[in-house]
Structure 1
């Protein structure tokens, strides 16, 4: 993977790829180039077996302030309407790419996370928030509907009533409240934030990576199926997991009463 991106930083260490959205002067608001760079990185990550865990975060004071609205300030209404689908296709490609990554993905949220930036975080597998995080589905404030999968993720994480509340009122919530309602997995003091994220990422990077990918796929495909269909799916996925090197290593480690040494294969 190349590393000479203009608006995104990539760092690889001990199996963990950290992707940092890097437009700090505008709180990492998305422009077209940053979006395209993010897509390229995520799609390359899916093909790289050396990467065992992904961390997505933002540079400076924020995770991300959503779409850079200055790019659309002078757009004509007719033109905006005709290009809305086209514009969103790139965001949809990024969201689907994150969802389908075979590696576990952590969104590390500090400061502002609003609009499309928040919904990209919701497409990740786990979310750790600092206690200075401020999260908002801000779309209604400018007369737009949530995009980037917002309706899908919010409803599944929170239930329809709370999801609608966040979307309709577009109010900001802090990290502690986001943890309380289940929007993030954990809220931690800002002083401990980086250490908590690193420890979690390294833990996942040393785990059974292929099995993690199968778990993700099983849960995603189970969302809209009945119990009988899910039971069939779990049999299919278990038959694949049982043939992995990491399953064999896990059993041997258990029998030998030692920590497993997973290879991610």
Structure 2
């Protein structure tokens, strides 16, 4: 790989086909959970790809058996270091940059969801222009489970992809679904057997790379305007999510996960 991507040392890159760049999310032993440094690189890499004349299409996948487990729990916002307003602003801006970076990327993105995709990892997988999941992959939004609003991508893209009834059911109950179920619910473009996922993602990416680049990019830009029109919904969901991180519910939910017990939410609803 050339120096064009040298700054993105928390990600892996290769070229599986002409004009196709593949990004592999890699955090061995942690199901490819996103650290703060990796998050920043995932925010910025799309602009670098748009400026790369050797790339027309990007594939993004995960290393090993997982796609991406979302934000690393030990790196979740917890307060105490920054002023609360600064912490909320910082985390809000980071989330916005990741989601809008993918939506505004000019070149098409194909996700190859090879295993567990949670939180920010699921955002990356579902915001791709063509999302391809292994039939056995496990997809979980995860936000309510850790005591925060379903922010990131969920509120803007789930109702558009699978309808409001399914969006509410899965986001509120936080029930997982397999890749096969996700295809049936129109949450992903395709679900394929695990052994052909890589080949299928390369085939689709190569087909896109062989198409008229300007026409493909302009078509993507127009279609993603459906998402841009929901910017007010996205901003509100992301803001609620960041505020929730400093609350007692998130503290209890994450402590319960770490201790492998059921959470005990003592306070009544105040919203």
Q: TM-score range by the shorter chain?
A: 0.7 to 0.9
Alignment of 1:22-33 (within 5 A): 22-33=26-37
CA-atom RMSD, angstroms?
2.1
Distance in 2, matches of 1:160 and 1:81, equals 32
Q: Answer yes or no: is 1:183 the counterpart of 2:180.
A: no
Q: Structure 1 residue runs of 4+, over 2 Å off?
A: 2-6, 72-82, 220-225
TM-score, normalization by structure 1: 0.79
Q: Relative contact order (C-alpha < 8 Å, sep 6+): which is higher?
A: 2
Give the match's secondary structure for 1:162.
helix
The verdict on how the C-alpha distance between 1:79 and 1:142 changes in structure 2, with shifts beyond 3 A counting, is farther
Give the match's secondary structure for 1:121.
helix
Q: Which moved more, 1:116-125 or 1:80-89?
A: 80-89
Q: Answer yes or no: is 1:18 the counterpart of 2:22.
A: yes
Q: Answer yes or no: is 1:7 the counterpart of 2:10.
A: yes
Cα deviations by residue, 1:96-137 (Å, 9 ceiling, x for unpaired):
121122211111101100111101222211100012200011
Structure-2 residue corresponding to 1:64: 68
Alignment of 1:156-167 (within 5 A): 156-167=160-171
Cα deviations by residue, 1:154-193 (Å, 9 ceiling, x for unpaired):
1111121211111100011001100000011111111111
Q: Answer yes or no: is 1:103 the counterpart of 2:102.
A: no
How far residue 5 of structure 1 moved from its aligned partner, in angstroms, is 3.5
Instruction: Count how many residue pairs are aligned between Structure 1 and Structure 2.
Output: 225
Give the match's secondary structure for 1:57.
strand
Give the match's secondary structure for 1:138.
coil
Alignment of 1:214-253 (within 5 A): 214-222=218-226
Q: Which has the larger radius of gyration?
A: 1
Structure-2 residue corresponding to 1:256: none
Corresponding residue to 1:149 among 143, 148, 153: 153
Structure-2 residue corresponding to 1:249: none
Any unmatched runs of 5+ in structure 2? 230-271
Any unmatched runs of 5+ in structure 1? 226-265
Q: Which moved more, 1:72-81 or 1:108-117?
A: 72-81
